[in-house]
Each structure stands twice: as structure tokens, then as C-alpha cells.
Chain A
Amino acid sequence: MKKLLLLVVLMLSVFAFTVTFVDDAGRIVSLERSPERVICAAPAATKFLEYLGLTDRIVGVTNWDTFESERIGDLYPLNMEKILSLNPDLVILFGGFQLPEVTKLEEMNIPSLVLNANSVKGVLDDLVLLGVVFDIGKKAKERAQKLEQYYLEIAKKAYNIPYSERVRVAFISDVPGPDVKEIWTGGQGSFINELITLAGGVNIASGLTGPNGYLPLSIEYIVSQDPDIIIATTYSYGTEQQIVEKLKEYAPFSDIKAVKNSRIYVFHVDEVSLPVPQTISLVERFYNIFYGEK
């Protein structure tokens, strides 16, 4: 009898940690215990774990990550050999373009989780989802709620600005010049569009959209919209001032209000492009840029 009881207790303790959830790709995933060895197959996945204080679980990241850990190569295609050698109990992927890799992981019986946030709400939901997966549900939920309160506080200030007084914003991820023919921006449905809108700006591309909300804009369109503010991106730190100069020297832009009033702001592409919890703080930075710290 005692032995039987022991067996039952043992079995319960095994099943106690079993967690089943639906990830952002709509897949039903079951884990038998909270993952201890995690591979972040995309930099955005690492950012989420950093935000939740779970970096001690990370055993591998891609070559494009700023976090220091064993490198597994590129985001696509994933290096299965390297991943297997690290013996992970969970691989976290990010975004739809990594979906083909999921089927490969499934074939190798490596548990995987796809995150695919592309809105502020999506980021908050993913925080809660990761909380469930890593058995820190309460903490994750608190963090998500705190983050929500934080950005809503600023967004509520922005709500009260009348439309006529709102600044018009152009987000450009390419700097025009002889070598650049298309300027990509984030329109309706993109994460950056939501951040600009929450901060009280009017995105000049908000009426347009493309894959994941991103689309190329023509120079003519940007000039015709005459934005008050330009938010540009750079791929290397320390080149922000160069980008500003380049934009000021670009002849077709010389009559735009943003250029005449020197209201050009440059961010590193990692700061603005990833739909991760850390990026949500941009709502406050954007608000301060748009309306000063009032």
C-alpha cells in the first residue's frame, strides 16, 4: 500500500508541471516541466526572457543577438545540428517567417514555442504566455500589468490633444540618397504605427499598409505630406548625427517642416523594430519628442 502511495505521489509530481498552451502560431504545445535549457532562435525572443529575468535559462542565441551566449547561427535556416548539440528543452522562435523551421524542430522532437506579437497588446499577452510556460505566471502577469499602466498613463495624456494640434510624423527606415530608391515605413498594422499613435502623433502612413504593416513610400508622398517630425533609423550606433546631416542635405526634403525646424530624430533599428516589452517605453520617448515634457 505504501509503495502504491509512493508511486502515485511520484507520478503526480511528474505530471504536476505539465503545462499545455497555444502559441502565437496557433499550435498546441505541451511541456512536461518548466524549461531549463532554452534556445532563443530570434533576438526578440531573448528580449522577452531578459524582461522576465530568465536569462539564466538561455543556452543559445543567434549570431544577431546582443546577449552573450553560445551562438547557433542564423535565424533562417536554423542550424539543427547546433541546436541538437545544445540539448535544449525549448526553442523559442519569433514571427511568421520562421514557421518553416518549426516543422523541422517538430520532426526532431524538440519542443518549440512561436511568439508573434505585432501590437502592444500582443507583447503583453506574450509576457503572460511566457509566464505560464516558465512557471512564473504571477510575476509575469504583474510585469505585464505594470507595463500596461505605464504606457496608458502617457497615452491618456496624448488622448486629450486635439487632432489639429497633433504633430504629423514620418517614420523612415531608409535614408534617401543616390543609392536608395525606396523608403520603407510602418503603416496600419505595424508596431511602430501603434507606438506613434499612442504617443499622440499622426503617422503620415497610417492610412496605408503592407505585409505586417510595412510598405515602401515614394519620395513624392513624403514631401506632399509635409511631416512635422521625421523619425529615422540607423543600423550602427554612433552614426545618428550623420543620418541627420544626410537628411538635411537631401534636396527634395528641403522644404519639409521637419527638416526646416530640425526635428529629425534617429534611433537604432533594434530600439524601434522589435515588438518586445522594452520597445514599449518608446511611447514615452516619442511623447516627449512630440510635445516636450509637459
Chain B
Amino acid sequence: MAKKFLIASVLLLSALLLGICLGSVHIPIAEVLRSIVEKTRWSQILWNVRFPRVLLSVIAGAGLSVVGNAFQGLLKNPLVDPYLLGISSGASFGAVVAIFLAEVLNASFLREVPTLTFVFGIVAALLALILARRQNTVPVTELILSGVLINILFSAATVLFVMLAKRNITHVYMWLFGTFSGTGWRDIPVPLLSVAGFTILTSGLGMRLNAMSLGETEAMTSGVEVERLKMLVYITGTFTTAAIVSRTGMIGFVGLIVPHMARRIFGNDHRISIPTSAVLGGLLLCMCDVISRTALSPSEIPVGVITAFVGAPVMFVLLRRSGRSV
């Protein structure tokens, strides 16, 4: 177990290094190392373009995977992902509104795109939670259904807004596919803090999440305050997801598949599968981003496409080898 974790962590560190060394511009490794200690002609690229980007890909991968893992455990549903509560469509609506307002007001408003996407993501998720509430409880089926409804509602609102606004919205499409392009240092603090906070919180709640995955009644009899735990994880998870989505756009698949990978490799105990989801998710998304920006350089492939092409076969191999049911 410890050995596997060590290997994964070493792999993550090498992925980080690889991510910094590889990019659409070829920089010799010696030059990269030299840029760490002194200012060279590559410093600007390495420090202000590549490094924040690699960092955000790791943070986003880790965050989406941890949220996915916690949600899957809480809802006892293997098909749940971080976008369950309608965060993604709420956030896309926010992005369209922000991009529209940027054109109407002025361009500098574009810096506010993450703020508005963040706010609308949270609004959508809270709406889904409120709609699903029945006498102080949030039943699983109701929650999943209201999440689906909120998703449909905000997607329709997005399409309607795009039609009514009659503006040039090319960037909306780019945003919908998810990309790390153009990441800067200002994009790092909020996702980093929320992902770290959520990982520590849910790892600490690991025992309770384990009890939850046995069933709500079982959890209640073993002394877990089920509804409070659910609300806490939903709200903090939503916050974390919105913090990521508002910077990167929608990156699918990672939050769904990495928790399964973690459980296959490290077992079902949430105290372990949550931190390992973070490591595996960071590793996967970081590697996928390296491929996305180098494969067709200097053009970029949307990172969501790569995660699907890399993630699906890896997951398939894992499924075959372990032979257990999900």
C-alpha cells in the first residue's frame, strides 16, 4: 500500500517536471534547470506561462477526482461526478453572461469571467439542493433528479441567451471544452486552497464516508449525523468544483473515472482512496495536458478529448485485471 502510494507520488512529481520541460516551444532541459536559479531568456515562459499551467492541471485533476470520490461514496452511485448538482451548466451560463457583458460594457470586464462562472455554478448547485430537500433530508434519488433538471434548465438558458444576445461568442465554445490555455498565477490561489481544504476535510471524514457507503441507515446506527455530513460535503464539494471550473472550463471524465482507479488500486477505504484520488487525478490531468499542448503544437487539442482517450483504456485495463464488480 505505502509502496504503491510512493510510486504514484513519484510519478506525479515526474509528471510535474515533465510538464515544465515539455511544451509547444522546445527548451533544452539544461536551460530549464538553469532558469530555476538565474534569469534567462526562457524565464518568462517557464515561470509565468508553463509553471502556473502545470500547477493548475495538477490542482484541477486532484480536486475533480476528490470531489468525485466523495460524491460517489456519499450517494453510493458509481456514475456520479463532480458536476452532479448542475455546477457545470450553471457555470457555463455564468461564462456566457460574463462574456456578453464584457462586450457590452468593455473588454477589461473579461477578467471577471471566473467570478461570474463561480457564482452561477454555486447558485445552480444550491438550487438543486434546495429543490431536493424533503423535511430536512435530501434523499439521493431526489438529489440526482433535481441535479439533472437544473442541468437541463441552465443548458437551455445558455442556448437561449446565446441566441438572444446575437454576439460573437467563439470563446464560449472554447470554454465549454475545457482548457488550461492562458493560465496565470492569479488562477492558482483559490483552486489550490479549496482543493487542499476539501481533501483534508474529506480524508478526515473518511470513517464516516465509509459508514455512509454501507447505507444511510447503517451510518445512522453507527452514530453518523447523516444529513449534516451530506450537506457539509455537498456544499464544500460544490465550492471546490466551482473554483476549478471557473478557471478551466468543463473538463469531464476525470472526476468520474479517477475515483474508480483509486479504489481499484488502493481499496475502498475513503481515508486512503481520497488522498490517492488526488494524486492519481493530478497525475492523469497533468499528463493529459502535456499531450494536449505538444501533440499538435503550436495548436492545442482540448484537454477533455485527451482525458477520454487516455483515461478510458487505462480504466479498461484496471477493470479487466481486478475483475471485481464496481
Which of B50, B103, B108, B179 has a CB less than 8 Å from the CB of A96?
B103
Which of B44, B102, B179 has a CB less than 8 Å from the CB of A84?
B44
We find that the number of chain B residues with CB closer than 8 angstroms to chain A is 33
Residues of B within 8 A of A (CB): 23-25, 41-42, 44-45, 48-50, 99, 102-103, 106-108, 110-111, 166-168, 170-171, 174, 179, 181-182, 184, 293, 297-300
Which of A82, A101, A103, A108 has a CB less than 8 Å from the CB of B298?
A82
Which of B25, B107, B168 has a CB less than 8 Å from the CB of A211?
B168
Q: Supply 15 further A-B pairs (C-beta < 8 A) apart from A77-B182, A80-B181.
A: A25-B107, A26-B106, A27-B107, A71-B298, A73-B297, A73-B299, A76-B174, A79-B24, A81-B25, A95-B168, A97-B171, A99-B103, A104-B184, A211-B167, A212-B168
Contact across chains for A96 and B168 when beta carbons are under 8 A apart: yes
CB<8 Å pairs between A and B, sample of 15 = A25-B107, A63-B298, A74-B300, A76-B170, A76-B174, A80-B182, A81-B25, A82-B297, A84-B44, A85-B25, A100-B99, A101-B182, A103-B111, A211-B168, A212-B168
Residues of A within 8 A of B (CB): 25-27, 63, 71-74, 76-82, 84-85, 87, 95-97, 99-104, 107-108, 210-212
Contact across chains for B107 and A103 when beta carbons are under 8 A apart: yes
Contact across chains for B168 and A77 when beta carbons are under 8 A apart: no
Q: Which of chain A's residues has its CB closest to B53's CB?
A: A81
Whole-angstrom distance between the alpha carbons of A63 and B108 in the complex? 27
Contact across chains for A81 and B49 when beta carbons are under 8 A apart: yes
Q: Which of chain B's residues has its CB closest to A63's CB?
A: B299
| B294 → chain A closest CB, angstroms | 11
Whole-angstrom distance between the alpha carbons of A240 and B170 in the complex? 29
Contact across chains for B168 and A108 when beta carbons are under 8 A apart: no
| A60 → chain B closest CB, angstroms | 9
Contact residues in A for B25 (Cβ distance below 8 Å): 81-82, 84-85
Q: Which of chain A's residues has its CB closest to B165's CB?
A: A211
| A212 → chain B closest CB, angstroms | 7
Contact across chains for B166 and A97 when beta carbons are under 8 A apart: no
Contact across chains for A82 and B170 when beta carbons are under 8 A apart: no
Contact residues in B for A100 (Cβ distance below 8 Å): 99, 102, 107, 110, 171
Contact across chains for A74 and B179 when beta carbons are under 8 A apart: no
Q: Which of chain B's residues has its CB closest to A27's CB?
A: B107
| B92 → chain A closest CB, angstroms | 16
